[in-house]
Amino acid sequence: MSTLPGTLRSAKEVADRRAPAPHTSMFVRMLLRAAALRRGRAASALLAMIVAAAVATAMMNLYVDVQAKLRTEFRNYGANLVIVAKNGQALPPDAISTIELTLGPKTLAVPFAYAVARTNNGQSVVVVGTDFNRARQLNHWWNVSRWPASTGEALIGVRAAAVVSANREPFDLTFQGRTIRLTPGGMLQTGAGEDSRIYLDQSEFQSWTGVIPTTIEVAANGTAAEVAQSMGQLAQSLPTADVRPVRQIMEGEANVLNKTRATLYASATLVVLTSALCVLATLIGWVLDRRRDFAIMKALGASERLVNGFFAAEAAVLGVVGAILGFFIGIGVAAWIGRVNFHAPVVPRFSVFPYVLAGSVAVALISAIVPIGLLRRVQPAIILRGE
C-alpha cells in the first residue's frame, strides 16, 4: 500500500515529528506524497490546468490589447477630426502646437491652406500649402512618386500634372498678380480630390500667397469616448475654430471594431469554456482515480471534513500552481500572437492575473467537490474491496 506513506517508519520517529505540528505536517506530507507518487496523473492534471490558464490569460490579454492594436491600424485611414476656422475668423498661428499640447505629442495634426491660382494659359488650379512631413505621416494611402525636398519643388496631383506640366518641366503659377516658378518634385495619386491639386510647402505657399492655413486635419487616438473628449478639449483651446468629426472614418471604424470585438469576445468565451471543461474532465478523473486513498483515509478514521479539506487543498494547490505557470505561458503566447499578427508585442497585463487565479482555483475546486460528493455515498469497505 504505497499510498499510505510513513507506515514503515518507526512509531517513535513519527510521534517525534508530529509533536511540534501534529496535523499540519501530516497534511502537507500527504499533499506532497500524493503528487510525487502519482507523478503521471498529477502531471497530466497540472498540464491541463496550465493549458487552460495559459489559454485564458492569452485570450484576456488579446481581448484588451487587440482593440488598441486595431485602433492603431484604423488610424491609417487618416484624420478623424477636422478643425476649420469659423466664418470670418482665422486659426491662431500657433494652432498646431496648441493641438499637440492639448492632445499629447503623439497626435498628428496637419495644416492645409488653399488658394486658386492660374497657369500661364489661364487654367484655374487649386494650390495647397501644407507640411509635407506631417502629411506623409497622416496620409499613408497617398501614392507619392517622390516627396519634394527642396524649395521651389511642388507635389503635383496626377490630374493636375496633365494640365500644368505634362512633360514634367518647370511651370509658372499666378496668384493675385504674383507669379511663382515651380518644378515638379513628385506625383501624387489618391483617386480623390487631391489628384487635381498642387501641394506646396507651407512657408513657401504663405510667402507667395499670404494665405494662412484654414483647415487642420487631426488624427486623434483612442476610443470613441476619448476622441469625443479630445474634441471638447480642442474646442475649448481653439475658440475661433470649429472642431468637426470625420464621420465617414469614425463610424466605419466603430462599426468594424464593434463587430471584431464581439467576434473576439464570443471566441474567447468559447475557448476559455472549452479549456475549463478540459480541466474539469481531467481533474474529475484524477480524483475518481484516487478513491482508494479516500477510502483508506476514511477507514483509518479521518473525519469527513478532513478528507474534504484534503482533496480541496490538493485541488487548490493544483489550481494555484497551474494558474501561475499558465499565466506566464499565456502572456508569452499573447505576445507571440501580437508579434506575428500586428508586428507589435501585446503588452502584458498583470491585472488579469487575479481573474485567472480565481478562475483556476474555482474550476479545480468544483472538479474536486463533484467526485467527492459521489464518493461520499459509497462505503469505504466497498471501494477497498475493489469495486
Euclidean distance between CA atoms 153 and 133, whole angstroms: 14
State the nearest-atom distance from the C-beta of 377 to another protein, in Å. 15
Interface with another protein, residue 69, by CB under 8 A: yes
Q: Of these, 35, 46, 53, 58, which contacts another protein (CB under 8 A)?
A: 58
289 binds another protein (CB under 8 A): yes
Nearer to another protein, 16 or 73 (CB): 73
Q: Between residues 104 and 355, which has the closer beta carbon with respect to another protein?
A: 355
Interstrand relation of 143-144 and 178-189 (parallel, antiparallel or unpaired): antiparallel
Q: ∠ at Cα 240 (239, 242), nearest 5°?
A: 90
CB of 106 to another protein, least distance (A): 20
Cell numbers that stand for 257 in this block: 471594431
Nearer to another protein, 74 or 132 (CB): 74
Q: How far is the CB of 140 from another protein (least distance, A)?
A: 7
For another protein, the binding residues in 37-56 under the rule CB under 8 A are 44, 48, 51-52, 55
76 near another protein, judged by CB under 8 A: yes
Site track for another protein across 109-148, x = CB under 8 A: -----x-x------xxxx------------xxxxx-----
Binding flag, residue 342, another protein (CB under 8 A) = yes
Query: For residue 80, how many other CB atoms are within 10 A of its CB?
Result: 25
- Residues 348 and 37: beta-carbon distance below 8 Å: no
Interface positions, 145-204, toward another protein (CB under 8 A): 159-160, 163, 189-193, 195-196
Q: Interaction with another protein in 17-36: which residues (CB under 8 A)?
A: none
- Segment near another protein (CB under 8 A), from 73-81, 146-154, 223-231, 319-327? 73-81
- Contact with another protein (CB under 8 A): which of 16, 73, 226, 304? 73
Shortest Cβ 281–another protein spacing (Å): 4
Q: Is 273 in the site for another protein (CB under 8 A)?
A: yes
- Which residue among 234, 246, 318, 363 contacts another protein (CB under 8 A)? 246
For another protein, the binding residue among 34, 46, 57, 74 (CB under 8 A) is: 74
Query: Counting Cβ atoms within 10 Å, is residue 2 exposed (0-12), middle (13-18) or buried (19+)?
Result: exposed
φ and ψ at residue 28, rounded to 5 degrees = -65, -40
Using CB under 8 A as the binding rule, the residues of this chain from 343 to 362 that contact another protein are none
Cell of 57: 490569460
Positions in 198-237 near another protein (CB under 8 A):
215
Does 271 engage in binding with another protein (CB under 8 A)? yes
Instruction: Classify the C-alpha dihedral 212-214-219-223 as positive or negative.
Output: positive
Q: Residue type for 212, please?
A: I
Q: How many residues bind another protein (CB under 8 A)?
A: 80
Task: Answer yes or no whether residue 251 interacts with another protein by CB under 8 A.
Answer: yes
Instruction: Confirm or reject binding of residue 385 to another protein (CB under 8 A).
Output: yes
Q: Of the candidates 212, 224, 284, 325, which one interacts with another protein according to CB under 8 A?
A: 284
Q: How far is the CB of 21 from another protein (least distance, A)?
A: 32
List of residues 6+ apart from 40 with CB closer than 8 A: none
Nearer to another protein, 35 or 346 (CB): 346
Between 141 and 355, name the residue whose CB sits nearer to another protein: 141
Using the minimum distance from each CB to another protein, give the nearer residue, 281 or 358.
Answer: 281
Q: Does residue 89 interact with another protein by CB under 8 A?
A: no
Tell which one of 30, 66, 216, 219 touches another protein (CB under 8 A).
66
